[in-house]
């Protein structure tokens, strides 16, 4: 359920590269031309454009973009133009280096991607930063968050549909016992959340509700201001209802005193080719306002234009 719109007849890659080069020429940059091309090409097409641009003009397209555009618009264009795995590597590196308990990029990359996508992101991280994602998370994150996030980003989960129902029953009981004792960072909770497949976790969470009469996340709201509990809830929501999880991220990004452009940009650039239509539907259902209208209200100029293009707005 992507929102990305690609023309039925896409110009030749060399023509796209030439048009982008023309957008950079002269006294001013043609931002609308940049948006009309890059915001309407899929990952494979953007990759081909980058390659063609470098071959034709001897300069990496991302560097050329960075020389011509700036600020929030530049960040959005650069993140979008990157391959998904490269983009995740950049986002993970930024969060690891400036870690704070409310960060969500690492959780999203570890839990809202497929195991293969997380593996590709870690390979891209290694190639780009000459270190592993795991070692940077371990170096910059401390305490219970380190105990949780290092195995979370280290995982390579089984991605199939098979479920062990007796295991789901027993591990739901383990989770309830630990949560009831407020042992939120217990190694058993961390082991279950960081090793089990998505299908197995969904079975465990359903079993938890069946056995104890309410969803696990209700028990994890014992202290709404506790960021560790909030992170545990975010992990669970990324597995159980990613569209509602990302809707909340956008809602909070747009609903504060000022707009959280980093969160807004992260969600739109990472989900436009995945499920941004579902996220938009969840947003409208929750807020009674179309997502593109809410984004337009809180953003301006070229930044607004590229976000709306990625949202599929007419």
Would residue 253 count as lying in a domain?
yes
CA 164, distance to chain mean position in Å, is 29
Supply the pLDDT for residue 117.
98
Would residue 159 count as lying in a domain?
no
Query: 227 and 246 share a domain?
Result: no
Token pair in block for residue 206? 């359903």
Would residue 275 count as lying in a domain?
yes
CATH code, domain with 189: 1.10.220.10
Number of domains in the chain: 4
Supply the pLDDT for residue 240.
97
Query: 236 and 248 share a domain?
Result: no
Token pair in block for residue 139? 């170096």
Domain boundary among 240, 261, 277: 240
Would residue 108 count as lying in a domain?
yes
**Burial letters for 52-89: b for 16+ Cβ neighbours within 10 Å, e otherwise?**
bbbeeeeeebbebbeebbeebbbbbbbbbbbbbbbbbb
Would residue 178 count as lying in a domain?
yes
Which residues are known binding-site members for Ca(2+)?
24, 26, 28, 68, 258, 296, 298-299, 304
Query: 252 and 294 share a domain?
Result: yes
Supply the pLDDT for residue 304.
98
3-state SS record for the chain: CCCCCCCCCCCCHHHHHHHHHHHHCCCCCCHHHHHHHHCCCCHHHHHHHHHHHHHHHCCCHHHHHHHHCCHHHHHHHHHHHCCHHHHHHHHHHHHHHCCCCCCCHHHHHHHCCCHHHHHHHHHHHHHHHCCCHHHHHHHHCCHHHHHHHHHHHHCCCCCCCCCCHHHHHHHHHHHHHHHHCCCCCCHHHHHHHHHCCHHHHHHHHHHHHHHHCCCHHHHCCCCCCCHHHHHHHHHHHHHHCHHHHHHHHHHHHHHCCCCCHHHHHHHHHHHCCCCHHHHHHHHHHHHCCCHHHHHHHHCCHHHHHHHHHHCCCC
Query: 207 and 218 share a domain?
Result: yes
Would residue 257 count as lying in a domain?
yes
Instruction: Domain of residue 141: give its range.
Output: 84-154
Query: 250 and 275 share a domain?
Result: yes
Query: 96 and 124 share a domain?
Result: yes
Query: 214 and 249 share a domain?
Result: no
DSSP SS3 for 82: coil
Supply the pLDDT for residue 99.
95
Domain boundary among 240, 269, 299: 240
User: Residues in the chain with pLDDT < 50?
Assistant: none
Which residues are known binding-site members?
24, 26, 28, 68, 258, 296, 298-299, 304
Long-range CB contacts (within 8 A, 24+) of 81-86: 81/38, 81/46, 81/50, 83/43, 83/46, 83/47, 83/124, 84/43, 84/117, 84/120, 84/121, 84/270, 84/273, 85/117, 85/120, 85/121, 85/123, 85/124, 86/124, 86/128
Would residue 8 count as lying in a domain?
no
Supply the pLDDT for residue 264.
98
Query: 181 and 229 share a domain?
Result: yes
Supply the pLDDT for residue 258.
82
Supply the pLDDT for residue 110.
98
Would residue 79 count as lying in a domain?
no
Domain boundary among 184, 217, 240: 240
Provide the total of helices (H) and of strands (E) in the chain, helices listed first.
20, 0
Supply the pLDDT for residue 256.
74
Query: 171 and 233 share a domain?
Result: yes
């Amino acid at each position: 359920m992507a929102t990305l719109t690609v023309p039925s007849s896409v110009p030749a890659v060399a023509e796209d590269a030439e048009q982008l080069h023309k957008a950079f020429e002269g006294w001013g940059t043609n931002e609308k031309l940049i948006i009309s091309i890059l915001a309407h090409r899929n990952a494979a097409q953007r990759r081909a454009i980058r390659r063609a641009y470098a071959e034709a003009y001897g300069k990496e397209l991302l560097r050329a973009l960075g020389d011509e555009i700036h600020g929030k618009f530049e960040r959005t264009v650069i993140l979008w133009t990157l391959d998904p795995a490269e983009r995740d590597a950049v986002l993970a590196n930024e969060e690891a280096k400036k870690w704070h308990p409310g960060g969500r990029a690492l959780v999203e990359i570890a839990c809202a991607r497929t195991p293969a996508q997380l593996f590709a992101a870690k390979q891209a991280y290694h190639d780009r930063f000459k270190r592993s994602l795991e070692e940077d998370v371990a170096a910059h994150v401390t305490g219970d968050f380190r105990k949780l996030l290092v195995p979370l980003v280290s995982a390579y989960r089984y991605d199939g549909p098979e479920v062990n129902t007796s295991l789901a029953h027993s591990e739901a009981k383990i989770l309830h016992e630990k949560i009831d004792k407020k042992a939120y960072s217990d190694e058993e909770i961390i082991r279950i959340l960081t090793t089990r497949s998505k299908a197995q976790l969904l079975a465990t969470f359903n079993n938890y509700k069946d056995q104890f009469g309410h969803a696990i996340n209700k028990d994890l709201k014992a202290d709404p201001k506790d960021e560790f509990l909030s992170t545990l809830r975010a992990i669970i929501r990324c597995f159980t209802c990613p569209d509602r999880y990302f809707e909340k991220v956008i809602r909070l990004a747009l609903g504060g005193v000022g707009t959280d452009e980093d969160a807004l940009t992260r969600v739109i650039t990472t989900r436009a080719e995945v499920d941004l239509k579902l996220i938009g539907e969840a947003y409208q259902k929750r807020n009674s306002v179309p997502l593109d209208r809410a984004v337009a209200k809180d953003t301006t100029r070229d930044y607004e234009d590229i976000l709306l293009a990625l949202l599929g707005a007419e």
